[in-house]
Chains A and B, each alone.
Chain A
Amino acid sequence: MERGAQTTQHGHHSPTLYIVGYVLSLVLTAISFVLALTHAMSLGPTMWILMILAGLQILVQLFFFMHVTEGDGPPYHSVTLLIGLIFTFAICLMSIWIMTFHYQSY
């Protein structure tokens, strides 16, 4: 992220990024809320869209609030974050997958 994106000519950081991030997070939450409570779609697609919306919320927090792109030197923190995310989703998805086999054996 270039400095110009966040600062005015006077060298002051502007709140624009934070406001955009906040509005985005509220809009994403509102969409998932409406989807879940109105039962507008069938269960499968609803769950997929809810998970995608939650994934977008991670990006909003990381890029608008946590300044993940800032850094001098190699972005080691982004690499560990990515590995953490991969492990997180792997643990959850593989647990569900394995337990599905378990149910079928009954």
Chain B
Amino acid sequence: MALAEKHVTPGGSARASSIEYRDPHQSVRIMGFWLFLSTDMLLFACLFATYLVVRTHTDGGPTPHEIFDVPGFTIETFLLLTSSFTGGLATLAMRNGHKKQLMAWLIVTMLLGLGFVGLEIQEFVADVAEGATMQRSAFLSAFFTLVGTHGSHVSLGIGWMFITLLQVARRGITAVTARKVFIVNLYWHFLDVVWVFIFTVVYLSGVVM
């Protein structure tokens, strides 16, 4: 606590007021998580670059226009945008010290995430049933790798959020659990940003062209 106060600058008053930043040991972990997000972004950069390069290489097989289901990806987008919002409300409840609200919003966020993953699996199964498999063309390999990597991130995020939820249930809102809730939500918002780009670069562009 004393250490944290020493390092607070005038612009940092907001951070000092939030529970997840009060302990410098937790504060530095949040910093570390931002570093992770910057490197995870580079993973997606490579997958996006690959997709953009081979997007037109359909080898006479299914084209983006043929396999993208507009209502399907619209609902997926809506679910993930909403879950990012409810994840934010979980952080807000945590900062206000409302344990039950925090747990409720985490559960809502996980359910929305499960809905998203469920729809995505359904979409992939339908694609494969139509002969659009990962082995069919360069376009489909890049498509399944990019969208699948994002989907596995979301699945991991749901499991991680569940473990965080259990810890909050057992220990309440402490400096440690507050930091955990904060970073799992950072991760979740980051995945929402990645999805917005998949929505734009993969799905909408595929429908436009």
Contacts and interface: CB of A to CB of B under 8 A. Distances in A.
A26 to B, nearest CB: 6
Contact of A6 (B14, B50, B81, B201): B14
B85 to A, nearest CB: 4
Given A76-B31, A80-B35, A91-B49, A15 B200 contact: no
Contacts of B200: 32, 50-51, 53-54
Interface residues of A, number: 53
A61 B189 contact: yes
Interface stretch (B40-48, B113-121, B128-136, B168-176): B40-48
Contacts of A47: 205, 208
A14 B41 CA distance: 30
Interface in A29-68: 29, 32-33, 36-37, 39, 43, 46-47, 50-51, 53-54, 57-58, 61, 64-67
B75 to A, nearest CB: 12
Contacts of B21: 70, 72
| B-side interface mostly | helix
A29 B205 CA distance: 14
B156 interface: no
Contact of A88 (B27, B30, B42, B82): B42
Interface string A1-15: 111001100001101
B49 A72 contact: no
B14 A3 contact: yes
A84 B89 contact: no
Interface in B26-41: 27, 30-31, 34-35, 37-39, 41
Nearest to A11: B17
Contacts of B16: 72
B8 A25 contact: no
Contact of A72 (B9, B74, B89, B196): B9
Interface of B: 4, 7-9, 11-18, 21, 27, 30-31, 34-35, 37-39, 41-42, 44-46, 48-50, 52-53, 70, 74, 77-78, 81-82, 84-85, 87-89, 91-92, 95-96, 185-186, 189-190, 192-193, 196-197, 199-201, 204-205, 207-209
| 6 nearest A-B pairs in the assembled complex, by CB-CB distance | A84-B38, A72-B12, A77-B34, A88-B45, A95-B49, A22-B85
